[in-house]
Structure 1
């Protein structure tokens, strides 16, 4: 390709910012980042916003390369034929390549009363609203957190540390990702904070009312504030634009992160489903996937064959209030192992990870192309096994 190349990045989260910064390696590439908000949201600190220890916002000037044009608006539709995106504020922005990095948000609870009476926490606006709601009720009032993933655990611990009366409803196992040893450590810390943990199949929420939560086993829990952290959804922009998605709405791509429908569209972050086998939603994955998406675009501009994504993991870190935390170590294939770091050292490592995630973005802005990551060849084995199983199923059916 000769002349200038216009690349539009839709979404200014961890993946989108990383991709936009990395694209500035070439002087003949014009990068436009479109995001609904004029400031970057540290999503991994939203529970701190609710607790009042952080505002979870970073100025884009601190993390975005100078050459990237920032447009504060919402993309309402992608015109693949015309290679342009329509904006809610009016007008369109054309592109030669588009990186789809719209991220994720709250999932539809699909539990009676949850949408009306429970408070989600997946976006900045949701967390800010919840902060006001929590502040308005007495500390002695019951708070129920639904969902036992990292966000649920962190929110429960943050509020309990402030003296709130918190119940964490798991609907299954506490911290599904964690190794049993790490899970026991988290349970011990929550108990010390006074959090009541309800786990097992009987603790699945069946209904939410204005002042209570009902469980599968028949229990009714008084609840002045019910916080919903169970599950994530993704924006439906890809589906509305006629692009192929998985059941959750993530853009279907090949292993280079290129849309199965359009070679000019590359996905990044939580909204990407490479080979219909998406990575775990996390900032750890988002930054690396964003970098790989940018590399795919740069390869195509240079007339080179993009590489397949090869991403390994380190583990998962969870804060347990301001004075404790856990880093659950994992194998490269993102499987938790016996090793973990808890207590005060775990809290310090969690804070280190939060700070350095933002630093990675800033470093990429100053020196695009600098981010590297650990590899994992087991993904290829998993893909071969999955495809082999699918082929065998088709053969048996024939």
Structure 2
């Protein structure tokens, strides 16, 4: 391709910012990032926003390259035939290539009353709406956190450390991703903070009212503030625009992150489903997928074939208040193993990871393309072959 190339990146989260910055290594590429907010949101700090120790925002000028144009708006439709996106304010933006990085948010809860009476916290706006609700509630008010993944655990610990009476309803196992050794460490710290942890299948939530959470075993938990962290969903922009998605609504791509419908559309982050075998949602995969999505575009501009995606995991870090945490070590395929770091060491590591993630964005803005290698999960190829029916699989896919 000759002349200038316009690339639009939809979504300014971890994947979108990494992709936009990576694209600026070519002077003949004009990059436009479209995002609903004027600031970058540190989603891994939203629980701190609730606890009052961080606002979970960073000025985009601190994490975006100077050549990235920022449009604060929402894309409501993608027209692949015209290579154009329509904005909520009525304008349009044309593109030669599009990177789809709209991220994820709270899933619509199917539990009766949850949508009406429970507070989701997957987005900045949701967390900001909940903060004054917590501030207005008496210090002795019963707070129930539903969902025992990282968001639920971190939120419960943060609020309990601030003096709140918190019950964490797991609906199953506490920290399903964790190895039993790491899980015991998390449970121990939650106990020290005074969090009541309810585990097992009988703790599935069957209904939520204004002041009660009802469980499968018939128990009714008094709850003046109910916080919902169970499950994530993705925006339906791709589906509404006629693009093929997986069952959850993530854009279906091949292994180069290219849409199965249009090679001018590339996906990254939580909203991507490469080969219908998506990676675990979160910043750890997003900061790897973002620049690789950009590399797919850049290679096409060079007249080269894009390379398959390569994502490897190191583990999962969970804060347990401001001073403690747990880092659960994993294999590169995201399978947790028996090793973990807990206590104050785990807390310091969690804070280091939060800071270093923003540092990665800044580094890519200053030196786009400097990072040229990616961790590799050797088991992904086995999963792909098994999905095609070519060999039996001995590993479980990560969802």
Q: TM-score range by the shorter chain?
A: over 0.9
Conserved? CA contact 1:48–1:158, under 8 Å: yes
Query: For 2:390 and 2:304, how far apart are their aligned partners in 1?
Result: 32
Aligned to 2:53: 53
Matches within 5 A, 1:1-398: 1-371=1-371, 372-388=373-389
Conserved? CA contact 2:6–2:97, under 8 Å: yes
Conserved? CA contact 1:148–1:170, under 8 Å: yes
Query: For 2:310 and 2:69, how far apart are their aligned partners in 1?
Result: 29
Conserved? CA contact 1:310–1:377, under 8 Å: no
Query: For 1:182 and 1:391, how far apart are their aligned partners in 2?
Result: 31
Query: For 1:369 and 1:47, how far apart are their aligned partners in 2?
Result: 32
Assess, with a 3 A threshold, how the Cα gap between structure 1 residues 271 and 390 changes in structure 2: closer, same or farther. Answer: farther
Conserved? CA contact 2:385–2:391, under 8 Å: no
| Per-residue CA distance 1:28-59 (angstroms, 9 max, x = gap) | 00000000001100000000001100000000
| Per-residue CA distance 1:290-317 (angstroms, 9 max, x = gap) | 0110000000111100000011110000
Conserved? CA contact 2:35–2:72, under 8 Å: yes
**Residue 373 (structure 1) shift:** 2.9
Conserved? CA contact 1:77–1:86, under 8 Å: yes
Aligned to 1:395: none
**Structure 1 residue matching 2:380: 3-state secondary structure:** helix
Query: For 1:173 and 1:40, how far apart are their aligned partners in 2?
Result: 33
Conserved? CA contact 2:23–2:368, under 8 Å: yes
Query: For 1:7 and 1:391, how far apart are their aligned partners in 2?
Result: 40
RMSD of equivalent CA atoms = 1.1
Assess, with a 3 A threshold, how the Cα gap between structure 1 residues 241 and 391 changes in structure 2: closer, same or farther. Answer: farther
Query: For 1:13 and 1:284, how far apart are their aligned partners in 2?
Result: 12
**Residue 370 (structure 1) shift:** 2.0
**Structure 2 residue matching 1:189: 3-state secondary structure:** helix
**Residue 389 (structure 1) shift:** 6.3
**Residue 381 (structure 1) shift:** 1.1
Query: For 1:275 and 1:104, how far apart are their aligned partners in 2?
Result: 19
**Structure 2 residue matching 1:76: 3-state secondary structure:** strand
Query: For 1:370 and 1:12, how far apart are their aligned partners in 2?
Result: 21
**Residue 391 (structure 1) shift:** 11
Conserved? CA contact 2:386–2:392, under 8 Å: no
**Structure 1 residue matching 2:388: 3-state secondary structure:** helix
**Residue 390 (structure 1) shift:** 9.6
**Residue 222 (structure 1) shift:** 0.1
Query: For 1:237 and 1:386, how far apart are their aligned partners in 2?
Result: 27
| Per-residue CA distance 1:365-385 (angstroms, 9 max, x = gap) | 000012343111210111112
Query: For 2:22 and 2:294, how far apart are their aligned partners in 1?
Result: 6
Conserved? CA contact 1:145–1:152, under 8 Å: yes
**Structure 1 residue matching 2:98: 3-state secondary structure:** strand
Conserved? CA contact 2:172–2:201, under 8 Å: yes
Unaligned segments of structure 1, at least 5 residues: 393-398
| Per-residue CA distance 1:75-117 (angstroms, 9 max, x = gap) | 0000000000000011100000000000000000110000000
Query: For 2:392 and 2:338, how far apart are their aligned partners in 1?
Result: 35
**Residue 323 (structure 1) shift:** 1.4
**Residue 172 (structure 1) shift:** 0.6
Q: How many residues align?
A: 392
Query: For 2:92 and 2:275, how far apart are their aligned partners in 1?
Result: 30
Conserved? CA contact 2:382–2:391, under 8 Å: no
Unaligned segments of structure 2, at least 5 residues: 394-399
Q: TM-score, normalised by structure 2?
A: 0.97
